[in-house]
Structure 1
Amino acid sequence: MTMTTDRVHVYPEEFDEFSRILARTTDRVRLELIDGKLRSKAVPDGDHGLIIEWLTRQCMQSRPELWLYPEQGVKAQAYRQGRARADGLLAPSGSIGGQGEWVDPGPVLMAVEVTSYDSDTDARDRTEKPRAYAETGIPVYLLIDRDSCEVTVYSEPDGVRYESARTVPFGKTVNLPDPVGITLETEQLKDWVR
């Protein structure tokens, strides 16, 4: 693949090839393809990992038939032309097997993003990802925002955007609507912010 500055969009096939090559050479960069544009994603810090661990435990206690797949790639956006690397995808246990790096979103009940302390978090996690996941039809998008110390639950995707978004500060109880059907006590999230 040849990278040029005169072309704005990257095709999914080109992205997949570039991503495979990069994965063989480094584990310090994670790539995504949103709106035809190549994006890099920060490698998570330790507190980020603890948040995913916390959420995995919450999900397992409430719904043991589900699994939170960390740092999973998913085919996103209309017609699956995007490639998003979610911090977590909640789906029935075993449902993403045999698909390679970029799984089909069909069985996914919820996509999860935990903000990182980098310059493009606002555009990526708060704007691009909700739209991409809604276009894909993922029923729930959970944003754990360490900058604002808030949790936002997006639901009711209409193919363009999520029609419902509920934001609560860390420390409050938040209900993840069906088909997830889990209640989270978010007090512990206060321990993992700068």
Structure 2
Amino acid sequence: MTAMAHAPMPTDEETLLDYFLALETPTGFRAELIEGEIVVTPPTDGTHEHCFSRVVSQIMRKSAVDMDVSGYKGLAMPRGGRCPRNHVIPDATIAPSEIRLFQGAEPWMPSDGVAMVVEVTSSNPERDRKAKRHCYARAGIPLYLLVDRGKSALTLFSEPSGDDYEAHNTAPIGKSLPLPAPFSFDLETIDFL
């Protein structure tokens, strides 16, 4: 997502978190606290939503296990940078339906039980390529799918360890990308862009 505005940053960690949690954003915008930086992003464009829709529809139809998908669900995750916790909003948060992860969840929920998160890049792809990837790895989220429109490729990061993922598999848009269990299908990308 594109950083639209940066709020003045308090220097104290707890004050920064309180300041972030009290932010009010215009309808359609979202605010995240990523590595000690408050980032406010505008609504997504049509191509972004097209890619998002293609990923989600295949997950719902083809996964070996029934999955629940939440678009833009806020995750409160382990410490990073100078902030007490990262508060990140993936484009899609996916979990097995049987654990009912999203039922009754607060606006910011822990990442325990999340099977995969998905990001579709926008005009500031480096945040999705690096900062968010590190947040997701630190939280132990098993799979991170990055639809990188700028590189016309998809990358599936797996095996989180510390601040990053130890493994990744990349496919150009137009080719399929295998998703491991609990998904267990090849994600088709021919009509992504």
Tell me which interval the TM-score lies in, with the shorter structure as reference length. 0.7 to 0.9
Match of 2:165 in 1: 162
Given candidates 126, 130, 154, the residue that maps to 2:129 is 126
Q: Which segments of 5 or more consecutive residues in structure 2 lack a partner in the other structure?
A: 1-6
How far apart in 1 are the matches of 2:44 and 2:96? Answer: 25
Alignment of 1:101-180 (within 5 A): 101-116=107-122, 118=123, 120-122=124-126, 124-180=127-183
Q: Which runs of 5+ in 1 are unaligned?
A: none
Q: Distance in 2 between the 1:129 and 1:97 partners?
A: 24
Please report the RMSD computed on the Cα atoms of aligned residues, expressed in angstroms.
2.1
Q: CA-to-partner distance for each residue in 1:30-54, whole Å, 9 max, x for gaps?
A: 1110112111223111221222221
Find the aligned partners of 2:41 and 2:125 in 1 and give their Cα distance: 9
**Contact 2:125 2:148 (C-alpha < 8 Å) held by counterparts:** no
Deviation readout 1:118-149 (Å, 9 max, x if unpaired): 2x322x11110110000000000000011111
| Residues in 1 aligned to 2:77 and 2:131: alpha-carbon distance in whole angstroms | 11
What is the CA distance between 1:6 and its match in structure 2? Answer: 6.6
- Percent identity between the two aligned chains: 31
Partners of 1:174 and 1:29 in 2: how far apart? 31
- TM-score (normalised: structure 1): 0.83
Moved over 3 A (4+): 3-6, 8-11, 77-80
CA distance in 1, matches of 2:154, 2:12: 33
SS in 1 for 2:73: strand
1:56 aligns with 2:56: yes
- Letter paired with 1:158: S
SS at match of 1:178: coil
Contact 1:83–1:102 under 8 Å retained in 2:
yes
Task: Answer yes or no: is the 8 Å Cα contact 1:155–1:177 preserved in 2.
Answer: no
TM-score by length of 2: 0.84
Moved more, 171-180 or 125-134: 171-180
Separation (CA, whole Å) in 2 of partners of 1:36 and 1:128: 11
Give per-residue Cα distances to partners, 1:158-177, cap 9 Å, x unaligned: 13210011211001111122
Q: CA deviation at 1:109?
A: 0.4
Aligned match of 1:72: 73
